Homo-oligomer: A and B are copies of this chain.
């Protein structure tokens, strides 16, 4: 295997960050984390720091609105806090799906943020419900009582035990692996509808309210509502496309198996 299974391309000069907080939001249940972090990146006008791609990401390209192809990527951004604490923000198209890649990815991300002397991690995600929640509740869990106490408020319940089982993927692993590095980490999980076509905008909004208040981000709530509408439209359009091509892809799977009388068995 090549060494470039993981590729981390830096953008511009590496900034000096003071005591930054790292916030992760990648695709997952209801895409709650992704929607929230994408909004933060746009709204705070964060600057790109790293572009991450991997041979473990989907072996496909996405056609964008300019009719140009894009490889699936994950991006790390930063935002200087101007008095408040600096932020590191991780968003993107995908997250690794198998066990080993998910652990490797999470360790790589922790290596990266540790270089900026980051010692506090926030991961964002969703809790899938059988119905659309009218007012999604937000729960939190973490890797130390201290960080949970610090982020405790009326807006968030820290009584997650029994509500959800294991937290699967990068949002969960970052918490567990950070613990070994003596980094404090917390996860905010918003209720959302567990249907694959549903986008958990409402849940993301509840999480953003919490972050806005706790981190004093001064997000424009009206703009937030509008922005979310745009994101929703764009994501919905993409999601619709996706469902249309699902058949073609399923066929490609079968088709692929046929290359000149050869059948994959493995």
Q: Which residues of chain A have a CB within 8 Å of any CB of chain B? A: 1-2, 4-5, 26-31, 34, 55-72, 92-95, 97-100, 102-104, 106-107, 127-130, 141-145, 148, 158-162, 164-169, 172-173, 175-177, 179, 187, 194-196, 237-239, 241-242, 244-249, 251-266
Contact = CB atoms under 8 A, between A and B. Distances in A.
Given A60-B172, A246-B263, A69 B29 contact: no
A196 B164 contact: no
* Copy count, this protein chain: 4
A192 to B, nearest CB: 10
A212 to B, nearest CB: 23
Given A99-B266, A265-B253, A145 B61 contact: no
Given A26-B259, A55-B103, A56-B100, 19 more contacts: A28-B255, A58-B262, A60-B167, A60-B263, A61-B176, A66-B161, A67-B159, A68-B148, A69-B141, A69-B176, A69-B187, A128-B248, A164-B245, A165-B244, A166-B261, A168-B249, A169-B252, A195-B251, A238-B260
Main secondary structure of the interface of A (DSSP, over half): mixed
A106 B187 CA distance: 34
A69 B265 CA distance: 18
11 contacts: A28-B255, A59-B103, A59-B173, A60-B168, A61-B173, A69-B175, A128-B251, A165-B249, A166-B245, A166-B261, A253-B265
Nearest to A196: B254
